[in-house]
Amino acid sequence: MVAALAAAACGQQLTFTRQPAATHASLRGLSAVSERVAWASGSGGTILRTVDGGGTWAAASIAGAEALDFRDIKAFSAEVAYAMAIGGNGGIYKTQNGGASWTRQYSSTEPGFFLDAMGFESERQGAAAGDPMGGKFLVLGTNDGTTWKPDAHAPQALPGEGAFAASGSAIAVRGGQIWIATGGAATARVFHRSCSRCAWSVAAAPMGGGGSGSGIFSVAFCDGSHGVAVGGDYTHPEANERSAAWSRDSGRSWTAAAAMPSGYRSSVACNPVDRKLLAAAGPTGTDVSRDGGAHWAADTKVNVNTIAWSGKSGGWAVGPRGAIYRFRLR
């Protein structure tokens, strides 16, 4: 049964329509390629693809990976996609034939191996972030779309600090720059590298409450200078204090939002046409900002983990128990 939800958002509406998907998996990975093509991923080895605007979602699963949790997926067409499974026997996989077959490009058996998110400049250039190993964050990079290499100069982590694999968006890549957002420590932070040979810098962000379940869960840069971070404390999803911040200087400094989202948020996404228009999502609902993240207005109460625009007027969102929604800005 198709369900639709709508709420006012600054004079317009974000209308969410549930789409048919034959899965009960927890979905956190989402990549909106176009108005017709999108990919989603989640627990139980789940990888799904639509090529008809969400009318049907077909499995594009990886043989032998049925026990893995695919927290992130990044696609470039109906044929080409990368999928990321978190620790254990997980790693980074790629398909070039719509999911008919996959190649595992990176994996590790080292204790503590846990991937959190991927970001891409193009099909060939990308980066991935994982939890600290040996006191340093795991940062992987590829320049050929095939080989992934660890960054020998990856930044040092604070005690208890890590990234969150809540929506595959704890990392952002744009214009040769990389940002990695963290939490779990006394201070939420954003690491920034402005070029492939540049040193990492770090800035504190006024987010989270300093607990192991709090901090930044998602970061997005709408261009090379303007960034937004969302999060809070997932153990208190209704609380909205310190749940969003924005930057106008490429992440060198962060300012708390003047009007916060209406709860903990695990995902934020920039509209690809109107760069000041953003959507944020979490278990207690969605919010919209029309000024680059400085002010947020509550929208729907739909429970989703990840949201992504596919164009100026809409996109997709995914969540628990196999939930996939198509949303429209009306």
Residue 316's beta-bridge partner residues?
A: 308, 326
Res 12: pLDDT: 63
Phi and psi at residue 306, to the nearest 5°: -140, 140
Q: Is residue 4 over pLDDT 50? A: no
3 pLDDT more than 60: no
Question: What pLDDT score does 21 carry?
Answer: 82
Segments making up each domain of the chain, as ranges: 155-311
Span 76-99, mean pLDDT?
A: 96
pLDDT tens, residue by residue, 165-212: 999 999 999 999 999 999 999 999 999 999 988 999 999 999 998 899
Tens of pLDDT, residues 66-86: 999 999 999 999 999 999 999
What pLDDT does 7 receive?
Answer: 39
User: What CATH number does domain 155-311 carry, 3.90.420.10, 3.40.50.1000, 2.130.10.10, 3.10.270.10?
Assistant: 2.130.10.10
Residue 1 is predicted with a pLDDT of: 31
pLDDT value at 308 more than 80:
yes
255/270 Cα distance (integer angstroms): 18
Give percent helix, percent strand, percent coil of the chain, each to the nearest 5.
0, 45, 55
Give the percent of the chain with pLDDT over 70. Answer: 96
Residue 87 in this model has a pLDDT that exceeds 60: yes
Q: Pick left, alpha or beta for residue 263 (phi over 0 → left; psi -120 to 50 → alpha; otherwise beta).
A: left
Q: How high is the pLDDT of residue 262?
A: 96
Give the percent of the chain with pLDDT over 90: 92
